[in-house]
């Protein structure tokens, strides 16, 4: 058994070396060089017409209207310090406990400058208007 392995091992090593040499020769031949990227044929850029309009216009930026209710002004004022009120309206509605955790995260983790009395008002507003049971689409 060992004599068979001793005979096969040198042959396998020679095969690996030969295969490696073929691959290396392919790479050295230039077929895979990055320098060939500059020689790829590319179309010339088109000319701009002097009377053409090439302006896409301003990106539409609308702020979604929050639901009317007690705490709307505080929510708009304090939440918009860091982000758009779109963050409230675009996400799926959260449960009442999740809104409380979310507001606390904004204050404690992200440092939102919201007084405690105002944060309670914001939480109450969000719980009253943006939960699965009461959100209006």
Extents of the domains making up the chain: 72-129
Q: How many CA atoms lie within 13 A of 99 on its CB side?
A: 25
DSSP string, 6-66: HHHHHHHHHHHHHHHHHHHHHHHTTTT-GGGGGGS--PPPPPPPTT------PPP--PPPP
pLDDT of residue 6: 76
CATH class of domain segment(s) 72-129: mainly alpha
CA 137 – CA 127 distance, rounded (Å): 15
Section 72-76 average pLDDT: 94
Q: What is the pLDDT of residues 45-61, one digit of tens each?
A: 777 777 777 677 776 67
**pTM score:** 0.55
Give per-residue pLDDT as tens, 100-111. Answer: 999 999 999 999
Cα–Cα distance measured from residue 11 to residue 26, given in angstroms and rounded to the nearest whole number: 23
Please check the confidence at residue 28 and state whether its pLDDT lies above 80: no
């Amino acid at each position: 058994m060992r004599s068979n392995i001793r005979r096969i091992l040198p042959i396998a090593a020679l095969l690996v070396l030969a295969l490696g040499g073929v691959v290396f020769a392919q790479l050295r031949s230039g077929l895979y060089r990055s320098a060939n990227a500059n020689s790829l044929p590319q179309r010339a850029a088109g000319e701009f017409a002097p009377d053409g309009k090439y302006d896409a216009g301003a990106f539409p930026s609308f702020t979604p209207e929050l639901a009317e209710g007690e705490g709307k002004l505080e929510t708009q004022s304090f939440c918009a310090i860091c982000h758009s009120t779109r963050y409230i309206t675009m996400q799926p509605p959260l449960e009442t406990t999740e809104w409380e955790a979310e507001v606390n995260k904004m204050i404690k983790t992200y440092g939102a400058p919201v007084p405690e009395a105002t944060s309670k008002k914001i939480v109450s507003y969000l719980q009253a208007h943006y939960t699965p049971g009461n959100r209006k689409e």
